[in-house]
Structure 1
Amino acid sequence: MSTVGAGNELLVVEDLKKHFPVTRGIVFQKEIATVKAVDGVSFTLREGETLGIVGESGCGKSTLVRCILKLLEPTGGRVVFQGQDITGLSRREMRPLRRNMMMVFQDPYASLNARKRVGFIIGEALELHGIGTPAERKRRVQELLEVVGLNPEHYNRFPHEFSGGQRQRIGVARALAVNPKLIVCDEPVSALDVSVQAQILNLLKDLQREFGLTYVFIAHDLNVVRHISDRVMVMYLGKAVELADRDELYIHPKHPYTGALLSAVPIASPDIGRARKQVVLEGDVPNPINPPVACNFHPRCPRFHQGHCDVETPPLAPIAHDHLVACHYPLERWPMDIADRSVAAAQPVESAG
């Protein structure tokens, strides 16, 4: 767990929003609706820690991090990076900051240019930022290949000559090339085998310790997030519904949606897995074009109270020390018969490697 304290925030996100217009017509387009992909998300990220972001597909995780990196222009809110408000900066003004904000993508093959050699792919950022001579850049790339566990002699190979795990190591090396402060990992292990997942996760943790990196880590696998994160934020339909320290959230979730997600996490012990009660949510994820009023989760919530949950939107507010939840009726305890034993029995990801 991270031991960083308050007052050393690398990233501050305040009420961030990203809305996409839905239009009709070919020549004369008319806006008929709006998709609120990210709708008022706020959090801070301290130097040297890892924030895990989880939620169902379509909840806005990837859109959120793309807005933070200014790959998408936010509709509203603020993004403060290293004490500087970058929300309104142009592409030209953002360029000097790009070297401190890098990304590792989900697909380890599509994210690499198949027509370029590995040396060019990793060293391209060095060239764009004018770092070093050609000989120094080549030496730096070979050092990075060795750092991520590849052979420096692979400098002249093409991406198709590597396995999926090796390609993702190349993606990690590319992100490290310009010594960034922040690395966003957008589901970096979801396309890999379980044993390879463990290797990549352990590599990321080793690099964090060695270089003092800060991660935003997106994943669907809650065991993966538990293994690598210091804090975890749960998103639902564009909003953050819970944010807490990793162990606190996994042992004492407060939002009913978080409890339902955790109840579906596979447990290595068959006896405990059979004994626990799984929380099954009714209905489907609402249409983001026409989300429910007030609390977005209330149509599927087992703790729904008519006249309150469907009238007043719950704010993301502290319920305990560093534990924030957006719910009018938070869970008193995890809705399982043996919650604490279930978490204790969950095997860490590194056991697969």
Structure 2
Amino acid sequence: MKDGEELLSVDGLVKHFPIRKGLLQRQVGAVQAVDGLTFSVRQGETLSLVGESGCGKTTTGRLLTRLETPTAGKIVFEGRDISHLSEGRMRPMRRDVQMIFQDPYGSLNPRHTVGKIVGAPFKLQNVKTEHGVKKAVQELLELVGLSPEHYNRYPHEFSGGQRQRIGIARTLALRPKLIVADEPVSALDVSIQAQVVNLLEDLQDEFDLTYVMIAHDLSVVRHVSDRVAVMYLGKIVELADRVSLYERPMHPYTVALLSAVPVPDTKRKAKRERIRLQGDVPSPINPPPACRFHTRCWKAQEICKTQEPPLVELAPGHQTACHFPENVETPAAKVAD
């Protein structure tokens, strides 16, 4: 597959977690974690999913790697629908789709050595290496900036940044085509974050990797992304390339998120208006009708409470789901009409 070709596509992806009560465990509701996502990821690019905690980013990542089974919708990887493949049929696909987890310590078995952890994919997938598993693992450790001598050490002997590098080495073992990185640097010190982000970029260039990056730190996202999808309560409210999104955000929620990003330039900081959203994020068990952001939006009008805005393209490659978007001449409501 060549760079720029569609590697992964998602259409109408839904994941509801049932809420059960009583002796008979009857379903009395559902957590609407992901509710109708549609997007695609091209070979060699980095698509970032951003938003507040609880917006469904991590659940989306787990769906893409099929650690969770979708309630509805389609996930197509390299032209093949993997939405509801059985565990047995998914096993060969897991060579091509891997995940980097948020907690660099919780994702590593404390009873296993680094050699056993990083070498596990070879054993699970029954992959033979040219010079043996130990040699392959040591090469992977060198690739991510660790020493081959770390082969026999245990996770508790490493710092947070080193543990994340071990997790990255394990992810790279089978040379996957798509990596879903769930907040890979959020648990690390700021000085270490840059090192890990640069490592991920170098590995992407070297192995032609495709990333779906899940993050809440918009400054990190700006550094690594080709395109950015902004999520709110299980839905994508804005999807655009990095430059367009940061320079001309259209959805009020995106504008509010970007206004909270620290600016080192004091003159620019003085000119910029800080937007503070009122109230908390509504419960995904009972989200607001129509536009889910209308309960916190300063531009909300009656139509926002009765009609859900579709995700439409208001500029080349820039999609927004809002009746009254920012930085655009024609309101989305008129475009939809």
Taking structure 1 as the reference length, what is the TM-score of the superposition?
Answer: 0.91
Shift of residue 24, structure 1, vs aligned partner: 1.4
Correspondence 1:325 to 2:335: no
Correspondence 1:56 to 2:52: yes
Report percent identity of matched pairs. 59
Q: Cα gap change, 1:133/1:222 in structure 2, threshold over 3 Å: closer, same or farther?
A: closer
What is the aligned partner in structure 2 of residue 269 from structure 1?
265
Shift of residue 34, structure 1, vs aligned partner: 1.4
Separation (CA, whole Å) in 1 of partners of 2:65 and 2:207: 21
Separation (CA, whole Å) in 2 of partners of 1:101 and 1:124: 16
What is the aligned partner in structure 2 of residue 287 from structure 1?
283
What is the aligned partner in structure 2 of residue 12 from structure 1?
9
Letter aligned with residue 9 of structure 1: E
Shift of residue 275, structure 1, vs aligned partner: 2.8
Shift of residue 4, structure 1, vs aligned partner: 4.8
Letter aligned with residue 312 of structure 2: A
Q: Which structure 2 residue ranges, 5 or more long, are not aligned?
A: 329-337
Q: 2:298 aligns with which of 295, 298, 302?
A: 302
What is the aligned partner in structure 1 of residue 333 from structure 2?
none
Q: Which structure 1 residue ranges, 5 or more long, are not aligned?
A: 334-353
Paired residues, number: 327
**1:131–1:137: 8 Å Cα contact kept in structure 2?**
no
Separation (CA, whole Å) in 2 of partners of 1:277 and 1:171: 40
Letter aligned with residue 320 of structure 1: A
Q: 1:126 aligns with which of 119, 122, 130?
A: 122
Instruction: Indicate the SS of the match to 1:112.
Output: coil
User: How big is each residue's C-alpha offset from its partner over 1:246-284, in whole Å with a ceiling of 9 and x where there is no partner?
Assistant: 010000000000000000000111232233111111121
Matches within 5 A, 1:136-147: 136-147=132-143
Instruction: Indicate the SS of the match to 1:150.
Output: coil
User: How big is each residue's C-alpha offset from its partner over 1:164-203, in whole Å with a ceiling of 9 and x where there is no partner?
Assistant: 1111000100000000000110001001011100000000
**2:129–2:136: 8 Å Cα contact kept in structure 1?**
no
User: How big is each residue's C-alpha offset from its partner over 1:302-350, in whole Å with a ceiling of 9 and x where there is no partner?
Assistant: 11111x11111111111111111111111126xxxxxxxxxxxxxxxxx
What is the aligned partner in structure 2 of residue 343 from structure 1?
none
Separation (CA, whole Å) in 1 of partners of 2:129 and 2:272: 60
Shift of residue 83, structure 1, vs aligned partner: 0.8
**2:260–2:274: 8 Å Cα contact kept in structure 1?**
yes
Shift of residue 140, structure 1, vs aligned partner: 0.7
* Structure 1 runs, 4 residues or longer, greater than 2 Å off: none
Correspondence 1:108 to 2:104: yes
Shift of residue 136, structure 1, vs aligned partner: 1.5
Shift of residue 137, structure 1, vs aligned partner: 1.1
Q: RMSD over aligned Cα, in angstroms?
A: 1.3
What is the aligned partner in structure 2 of residue 204 from structure 1?
200
Taking structure 2 as the reference length, what is the TM-score of the superposition?
Answer: 0.95
